[in-house]
C-alpha cells in the first residue's frame, strides 16, 4: 500500500523532523518565515514548503502583519495526535503498576538491615 502524502494528515506531517522543530519554535509565539529559516538553518524555500504542509493539515496558521506573514501554532490540529498517544496511557499505567508491585515484593524479601544472605 502506498504511503499517504505528507499533506494528508498531522501524523505524516510531523514525521519530518524539521516540521517538528517548526512547531516547537512556533509554540512560544508567532514568527516570520525569515526568522524560522535562520533558526532551522535551511533555505527560505524549504522553510516555506514545510510551513505549507503544516498549514494544509491544520497545524499552523498564518496572518498578514504589514509586509510580513506571521506563522503561529494552531494546536487544535494536534488533537488527533494527542488522542492517539492518550490511547497508550492505560498500557503504560498498567506496566508501571506491575513494576511497582514487583519492587514492593523485592523490598519485602530483603532483610531489614539491608544485608543479603
Structural domain for 94, as ranges? 79-109
Residue 115: inside a domain, yes or no?
A: no
CATH of the domain at 23: 1.10.10.10
Q: Give the pLDDT confidence of 30-79 residue by residue, as tens digits.
A: 999 999 999 999 999 999 999 999 999 999 999 998 899 999 999 999 99
Q: Which of 76, 65, 74, 77 is closest to 33 using CA atoms?
A: 65
**pTM for the structure as a whole:** 0.73
Q: Is residue 2 part of a domain?
A: no
Residues 93 and 38 in one domain: no
Same domain, 64 and 24: yes
What pLDDT sits at residue 20?
97
Count of domains forming the chain: 2
Contact indicator for 35, 51 with CB cutoff of 8 Å: no
Amino acid at each position: 500500500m502506498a504511503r499517504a502524502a505528507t499533506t494528508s494528515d498531522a501524523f505524516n506531517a510531523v514525521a519530518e523532523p524539521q516540521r517538528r522543530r517548526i512547531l516547537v519554535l512556533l509554540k512560544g509565539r508567532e514568527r516570520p518565515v525569515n526568522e524560522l529559516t535562520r533558526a532551522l538553518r535551511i533555505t527560505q524555500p524549504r522553510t516555506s514548503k514545510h510551513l505549507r504542509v503544516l498549514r494544509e493539515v491544520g497545524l499552523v496558521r498564518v496572518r498578514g502583519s504589514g509586509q510580513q506573514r506571521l506563522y503561529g501554532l494552531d494546536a487544535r490540529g494536534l488533537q488527533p495526535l494527542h488522542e492517539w498517544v492518550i490511547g497508550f496511557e492505560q498500557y503504560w499505567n498498567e506496566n508501571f503498576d506491575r513494576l511497582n508491585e514487583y519492587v514492593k515484593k523485592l523490598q519485602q524479601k530483603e532483610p531489614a538491615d539491608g544485608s543479603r544472605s
